């Protein structure tokens, strides 16, 4: 059975990491572009106490192609944002714009 909580009380409980509206808008714009090309088909968003993650899938039954993660400042990292593919870290940076550039490079013809 689900537990009902007041949103205001929930927000006061702790420092839960979430994507803000600006970050989510940029991620979803990239997602929509790739869906239109037929490359991506599904996504999932996960919020944990120390991390928020946006996972992209080729199909609902696959492992994520990419995970765009945001970490809290308490995580000793060189940047709060990371893009990974499987167990391989593709890039990390201090802003969402820094890490989303990896997808622009990927789309360029060789």
Are the CB atoms for 46 and 52 separated by under 8 Å?
A: yes
Q: What is the pLDDT of residue 98?
A: 93
Q: What is the pLDDT of residue 83?
A: 96
Are the CB atoms for 59 and 41 separated by under 8 Å?
A: yes
Q: Report the alpha-carbon distance of residue 92 to residue 1 in Å, rounded.
A: 39
pTM of the model: 0.79
| Domain locations in the chain as residue ranges | 16-107
Residue-wise pLDDT for 60-72, tens only, equals: 788 999 999 999 8
Q: Highest-confidence range of 45-49, 70-74, 91-95, by mean pLDDT? A: 91-95
Q: Report the alpha-carbon distance of residue 105 to residue 101 in Å, rounded.
A: 6
Q: What is the mean pLDDT of residues 50-54?
A: 92
Which two tokens mark 26? 């940029």
Are the CB atoms for 94 and 71 separated by under 8 Å?
A: no
Residue 45 has pLDDT above 60, yes or no: yes
Q: Within 13 Å, how many C-alpha atoms sit on residue 97's CB side?
A: 1
Pairing of strands 66-71, 88-93: unpaired
Q: Report the alpha-carbon distance of residue 88 to residue 16 in Å, rounded.
A: 25
Q: What is the pLDDT of residue 42?
A: 95
Q: What is the pLDDT of residue 76?
A: 59
């Amino acid at each position: 059975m689900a537990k009902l909580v007041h949103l205001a009380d929930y927000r006061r409980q702790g420092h839960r990491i979430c994507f803000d509206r600006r970050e989510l808008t940029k991620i979803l714009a990239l997602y929509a572009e790739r869906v239109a090309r037929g490359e991506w088909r599904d996504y999932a968003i996960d919020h944990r106490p120390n991390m928020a993650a946006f996972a992209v899938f080729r199909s609902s039954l696959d492992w994520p192609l990419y995970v765009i993660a945001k970490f809290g400042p308490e995580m000793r990292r060189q940047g709060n944002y990371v893009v990974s593919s499987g167990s391989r870290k593709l890039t990390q940076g201090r802003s969402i714009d820094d890490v989303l550039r990896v997808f622009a490079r990927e789309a360029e013809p060789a």
